[in-house]
């Protein structure tokens, strides 16, 4: 820490309780009261250095020679600063450091200790030392902290802005280039240096590269107004938004206990800097949180959604302003594709708590995300060519797909809540467009959980919920589960079975088409015999090698799956009285016969059954 020594005389002051005396051998002729302290001094040393004291002593001069009493109630830094100034006026040794230079400079300005009242007066001495202080990061931090005690005076003589500019310049500079001192690292060479040959020393602790967060801990000791001004200063100097956001996170977790409880912040290297911090009042925490929200960089993706939602939860507990919460919801909603499920599980903090988690908050964040991304997605509408694949704009749809998966997981998590109304469930699920879900397994799982937790729903309400999923986009595993799910309406089960059977028919037809091409390529003369299994392979229409035995094995598997599906369908239909209506509607004129791999398998075109389903759409099958 930098220091400057002034004066040459030995100490001639002593204190008795709240009274200071000067032991010069002469009786005191002036008494100065500063706060609760009293100083019994002499007029000449004071008026020869201070313009204010000269004026006050002249005004209170009494002809009978009694002691003059002066009261300096507005003295910057109080009696502590005046004691040092009194010593300076008497020429007694004092030490000026980064911890007292600001108060001394402000007190000297208040007492008008200019060069008109003696060469090398206190104002000049303090200004010269301030220039030295501003050259050091550590001393500048200490000086800025002491400005809080004399803030109006420090602002008036421009100490605060000069100190902030000095810190901002150093924070934006490269500490490795300018060799700036960093918190937690020694300033002097380590004692573990080992002397090698020819006088060359090698330190056992090699210097490590300094990260961009080296200044976070130091500035976190500043109060909120000074910290805010420093953040604005580094921002104006072009500091990266990511670094500013990280500093705000560090500062918030230091003074908002709820933020620290929500995260596992690691302080293994520097101890626990939060251990000695007094917890601010709830009002101060609310003000601090609202200020931090205004300081967050506006650039998207700079601040993680995890931290934004942590701030949002804290804002709800502290009853922050609606505008503050709205800003946080919009910031978090804009980055919803980067969030995880646990981020969305915000406990309901409302006065009328209905559900365990805040569904309305999640809905608002989702609406904001869709308003920002749906226009871009609609400008390049996708074309689904295969299950789980998009054509024409995968980069555009990737955020929507990620959010769709997130919302489906959130729906499954909140579905067991018996107080969750179907309308809110439907609203949240329907916000995601159909093309954003490559598969509807997630939304099916959420619907199934909801139906299990709400068995009192009517058939109409169940069918309304089932319209949220597209049965054609269910995987084979999901279709198998849905076909045996007693909680689903019968119409939905029938639709699932129909589309699965239609898919199997199409797959079998495709495999037989490949098989016929293989036969023709092996038998150019038209023979229908399959070639011997000699390990040879053929190239299919997509350029892939396909073995004949592999084709026959796959066809056999598909036949078995088709037969099993047909049997499940017949079992369900036997329990109902609507078999005739069902068979007429879907065009089943005769029972399907299992395919024989040794004979040609005659299958009807899938379009006929599809037409039957299309004609039945007026019946209201769930989509």
**pLDDT at position 528 over 50:** no
Mean pLDDT across the chain: 77
User: 318 or 486, which is more confident?
Assistant: 318
Task: Tell me if 39 sits within 8 A of 17, measured CB to CB.
Answer: no
Rounded to two decimals, what is the model's pTM? 0.73
Listed residue (313, 417, 315, 436) closest to 366, CA to CA: 436
Which CA distances in Å does 490 have to 57, 172, 304, 328, 589? 102, 67, 45, 44, 22
The pLDDT value given to residue 254: 92
At residue 516, the pLDDT reads 53
The answer for residues whose C-beta is within 8 angstroms of residue 518's C-beta and 6 or more apart is 538, 546, 548, 551
- pLDDT at residue 604 above 60? no
Position 184 scores a pLDDT of: 44
Q: How, if at all, do strands 383-386 and 194-195 pair?
A: unpaired
**Residue 67 pLDDT level (bands cut at 50, 70, 90):** low
455-476 burial string, b = 16+ CB within 10 Å, else e? eebeeebbbbbbbbbbbbbbee
547: enclosing H helix or E strand: strand 545-547
Over residues 114-132, the pLDDT tens digits come to 999 888 999 999 999 999 9
Work out the pLDDT band at 17, boundaries 50, 70, 90. Answer: confident
pLDDT at site 237: 93
Task: Name the pLDDT band for 486 (thresholds 50, 70, 90).
Answer: confident
The domains of the chain are located at 3-155, 158-175+213-261+281-334, 336-377+398-513
- Is the pLDDT at 94 greater than 60, yes or no? yes
Assigned fold of 3-155? Potassium Channel Kv1.1; Chain A (3.30.710)
Least confident of 273-282, 334-343, 374-383: 374-383
Confidence of residue 216 (pLDDT cuts 50, 70, 90): very high
**pLDDT at residue 450 greater than cutoff 60:** yes
Condensed to tens digits (0 to 9), the pLDDT of residues 394-410 reads 456 788 999 999 999 99
Residue 246 structure tokens: 């990280």
Measured CA to CA, the distance from residue 294 to residue 300 in angstroms comes to: 14
Q: How far apart are CA 481 and CA 483, in angstroms?
A: 6
pLDDT at position 287 over 70: yes
Q: What are phi and psi of 92, to 5 degrees?
A: -85, 150
Work out the average pLDDT over 98-110. 95
Which of the four pLDDT bands, split at 50, 70 and 90, describes residue 307? Answer: very high
């Amino acid at each position: 820490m930098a220091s400057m020594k002034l004066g040459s005389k030995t100490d001639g002051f002593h204190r008795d309780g709240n009274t200071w005396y000067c032991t010069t051998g002469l009786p005191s002729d002036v008494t100065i009261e500063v706060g609760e302290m009293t100083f019994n001094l002499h007029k000449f040393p004071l008026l020869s250095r201070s313009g204010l004291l000269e004026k006050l002593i002249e005004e209170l001069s009494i002809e009978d020679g009694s002691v003059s009493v002066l009261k300096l109630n507005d003295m910057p830094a109080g009696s502590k600063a005046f004691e040092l100034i009194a010593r300076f006026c008497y020429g007694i040794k004092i030490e000026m450091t980064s911890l007292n230079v600001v108060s001394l400079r402000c007190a000297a300005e208040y007492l008008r200790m200019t060069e008109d009242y003696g060469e090398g007066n206190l104002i000049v001495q303090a200004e010269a030392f301030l220039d030295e202080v501003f050259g050091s990061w550590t001393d500048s931090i200490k000086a800025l902290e002491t400005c809080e005690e004399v803030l109006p005076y420090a602002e008036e003589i421009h100490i605060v802005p000069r100190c902030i500019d000095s810190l901002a310049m150093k924070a934006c500079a490269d500490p490795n280039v300018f060799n700036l001192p960093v918190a937690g690292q020694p300033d002097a060479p380590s004692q573990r240096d080992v002397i090698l040959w020819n006088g060359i020393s090698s330190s056992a602790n090699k210097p490590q590269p300094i990260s961009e967060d080296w200044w976070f801990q130091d500035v976190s000791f500043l109060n909120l107004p000074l910290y805010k001004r420093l953040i604005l200063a580094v921002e104006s100097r072009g500091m990266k938004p990511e670094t500013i956001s990280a500093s705000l996170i560090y500062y918030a977790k230091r003074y908002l206990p709820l933020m620290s409880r929500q995260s596992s912040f690691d302080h293994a290297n520097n101890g626990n800097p939060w251990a000695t911090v007094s917890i601010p009042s709830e009002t101060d925490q609310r003000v601090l949180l609202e200020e931090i929200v205004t300081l967050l960089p506006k650039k998207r993706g700079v601040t993680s959604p995890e931290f934004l939602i942590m701030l949002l939860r804290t804002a709800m507990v502290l009853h922050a302003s609606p505008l503050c919460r709205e800003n946080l919801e919009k910031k978090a909603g804009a980055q919803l594709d980067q969030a995880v499920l646990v981020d969305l599980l915000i406990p309901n903090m409302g006065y009328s708590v209905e559900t365990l988690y805040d569904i309305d908050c999640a809905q608002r964040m989702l609406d904001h995300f869709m308003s920002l991304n749906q226009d871009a997605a609609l400008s390049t509408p996708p074309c689904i060519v295969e299950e789980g694949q998009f054509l024409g704009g995968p980069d555009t749809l990737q955020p929507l797909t990620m959010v769709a998966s997130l919302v489906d997981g959130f729906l499954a998590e909140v579905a067991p809540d018996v107080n969750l109304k179907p309308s809110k469930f439907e609203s949240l699920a329907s916000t995601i467009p159909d093309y954003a879900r490559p598969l509807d397994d997630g939304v099916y799982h959420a619907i199934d959980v909801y139906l299990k937790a709400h068995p009192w729903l009517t058939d109409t309400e169940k069918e309304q919920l089932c319209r949220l999923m597209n049965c054609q986009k269910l995987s084979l595993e999901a279709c198998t589960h849905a076909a045996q799910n007693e909680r689903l309406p019968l119409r939905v089960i029938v639709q699932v079975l129909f589309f699965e059977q239609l898919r199997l028919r199409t797959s079998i037809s495709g495999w037989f088409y490949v098989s016929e091409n293989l036969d023709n390529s092996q038998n150019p003369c038209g023979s229908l015999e399959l070639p011997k299994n000699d390990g040879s392979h053929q190239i299919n229409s997509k350029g892939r090698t396909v073995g004949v035995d592999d084709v026959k094995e796959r066809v056999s598997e598909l036949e078995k799956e088709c037969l099993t599906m047909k049997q499940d369908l017949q079992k369900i239909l036997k329990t109902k009285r609507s078999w005739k209506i069902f068979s007429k509607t879907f065009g089943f004129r005769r029972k399907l016969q299992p395919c024989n791999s040794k004979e040609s398998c005659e299958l009807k075109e899938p379009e006929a059954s599809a037409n039957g389903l299309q004609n039945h759409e007026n019946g209201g099958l769930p989509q």
